[in-house]
Amino acid sequence: MEGRDSGRAAEDGAGQDVGGTVADVGEFGLIREVTGRQQQPVGTVVGPGDDAAVVSAPDGRVVISTDMLVQGVHFRLDWSSPEQVGHKAAAVNLADIAAMGATPTSLVVGFGCPADTDAAVATGISDGLTAEAARVGAGVVGGDVVRSDQLVVSVTAIGDLGGRAPVTRSGARPGHIVAVCGKLGWAAAGLAVLGRGFRSPVGVVNAQRAPEPPYTAGLAAADAGATAMIDISDGLLADLSHLAEESGVGIDITSESLEVDRKLVDVAGALGADPMRWVLTGGEDHALVATFPSFVDLPQGWRQIGTVLMPDTGVTVDGKPYDGDIGWEHWR
C-alpha cells in the first residue's frame, strides 16, 4: 500500500485497536496503521511505501493469481469477524498458488469500503490477511485503499516455482488417477448452517468463515509427478469439469471413495440436506484435486477418488452424469 515503510508487527500479526471510522483515521492514517502491523517476508526487496513493491524471484519466473471478495457475496460481517474475512481473502489466493505447484511468497491487496466503516474492521481484515500469509512464509508487500459503496477485498498472490514446471489444468491423460487432498463439503455445510441463522457446530461454520487449504500439498503433488491440478473453489465437479475441458479428457468419480465426515452427516440430517451434494458440488473449502500417472505413490494426505477417461465423456459420478447443478457460477 502506498505510504511509509512498515515496521515489525507483533508475533500474532495484530496491533493495537484503532478507534473511529476510516474517515476519522484518514486514507494515509489507515495505511500507516495497516502497514505498521505487518512484517515483511524474506523475499521483499521494496515493500510498502513506494510506487510499487519489488520482490525477489529466485526461479526467474513468478506465479500470479487474483481473487476478489465482495461483502454480501463472499462474506458477511454478521457471520464472520474482520480477521476471518482477512484469513479467507488470503486463503483463496494462496490456494491458487499452491494449485500450480508453487510456493506463495507475497500478497498485494486492494481494499475498498464506505467512509463510515469502523477502522477496526479494516485493521482486523489486514491482521487476518497477514496472519494467514505468514503461515506459508508470505506477506503483504503492497496495495491500495479506496472509498467504495461496499466492502471489497481484492488480493493478488505471487508465488515461486522453485525450478519446477508449473502444474496446469491441461496435463491429465486417460488412465491417470484422480486424487484429492483436503476437506470437501465442510464450507458448503457451514454456509447452510449460517443461512439458517445458526452459529454451530463451530468446526463446520468456521470452514466457511476461514477455510484451511492444504497449502503444502500442492508442492508435494508437483514433486510426486502430478500432471494436472486445481483448487476446489466452485465445487469438486465444477472444478474437475474445468480441468477435464482444458485437458481434453473425461473424468469419473467414485462416490464410495469420497469421505463424508460424520459431522456433515449429522448437520445434513438436522437441516434436511444431502451431505454428498455438499461434497460433490460445495466450493470454498479450497482443497486440491489433481491427476497422477497410475504408477505414482500418492503423497501423504492425498487419496484417490476417480479415474481419467477418454475424451467426450464429461465428468461423471459412478459412471453417470450428475443430476443437478455441479457447483457455483456467478451471475447464474
In our burial notation (b when 16+ CB lie closer than 10 A, e otherwise), range 16-41 reads eebeebbeebebeebbbbbbbbbbbb
Verify that 112 and 242 share a domain, yes or no. Answer: no
Does 160 belong to an annotated binding site?
no
What are the E-state strand segments in the chain? 44-46, 54-55, 63-70, 103-113, 139-147, 152-160, 177-181, 228-231, 250-253, 288-292, 303-309, 315-317, 320-321
Q: 10 Å Cβ neighbour count for 325?
A: 13
Does 149 belong to an annotated binding site?
no
Does 233 belong to an annotated binding site?
yes
Give 63-106 pLDDT, tens digit per residue: 999 999 999 989 999 999 999 999 999 999 999 999 999 999 99
- Beta-ladder partners of 109: 143, 155
Does 143 belong to an annotated binding site?
yes
**Is 4 domain-assigned?**
no
**Is 5 domain-assigned?**
no
Q: Residue 270 belongs to a domain with what CATH number?
A: 3.90.650.10
Domain total in the chain: 2
Verify that 41 and 80 share a domain, yes or no. Answer: yes
**Is 8 domain-assigned?**
no
Give 155-192 pLDDT, tens digit per residue: 999 999 999 999 999 999 999 999 999 999 999 999 99
**Is 114 domain-assigned?**
yes
Helix, strand, or coil (residue 157)? strand
Q: What is the pLDDT of residue 17?
A: 65
C-alpha cell at 215: 497449502
* Mean of per-residue pLDDT scores for the chain: 89
Verify that 126 and 182 share a domain, yes or no. Answer: no
Q: What is the pLDDT of residue 30?
A: 62
Does 126 belong to an annotated binding site?
no
Q: Are 196 and 190 in contact (CB under 8 A)?
A: no
C-alpha cell at 268: 445434513
Give 36-48 pLDDT, tens digit per residue: 666 777 777 766 6
Q: What is the pLDDT of residue 6?
A: 31
- The Cα–Cα gap between 82 and 305 comes to 36
Rounded to whole angstroms, what are the CA distances from 131 to 41, 53, 134, 149, 151? 12, 20, 5, 27, 20
Reference 109, options 72, 85, 140, 88; nearest CA is: 140
**Is 3 domain-assigned?**
no
Does 96 belong to an annotated binding site?
yes
31 vs 145, higher pLDDT: 145
Does 51 belong to an annotated binding site?
yes
Does 252 belong to an annotated binding site?
no
Does 328 belong to an annotated binding site?
yes
What pTM value is reported for the model? 0.87
Domain boundary among 131, 160, 189: 160
Verify that 30 and 121 share a domain, yes or no. Answer: yes
Q: 10 Å Cβ neighbour count for 140?
A: 30
Does 65 belong to an annotated binding site?
yes
**Is 150 domain-assigned?**
yes
- Residues 6 or more apart whose CB falls under 8 angstroms from that of 117 comprise 21, 22, 151
- The Cα–Cα gap between 332 and 326 comes to 12
Residue 211 has pLDDT above 60, yes or no: yes
Does 274 belong to an annotated binding site?
no
Q: Is 122 exposed, middle or buried (0-12, 13-18, 19+ CB in 10 A)?
A: buried
Q: Which domain holds residue 75?
A: 22-160
Residue type (1 letter), 225? G
Does 235 belong to an annotated binding site?
no
Q: What is the pLDDT of residue 109?
A: 95
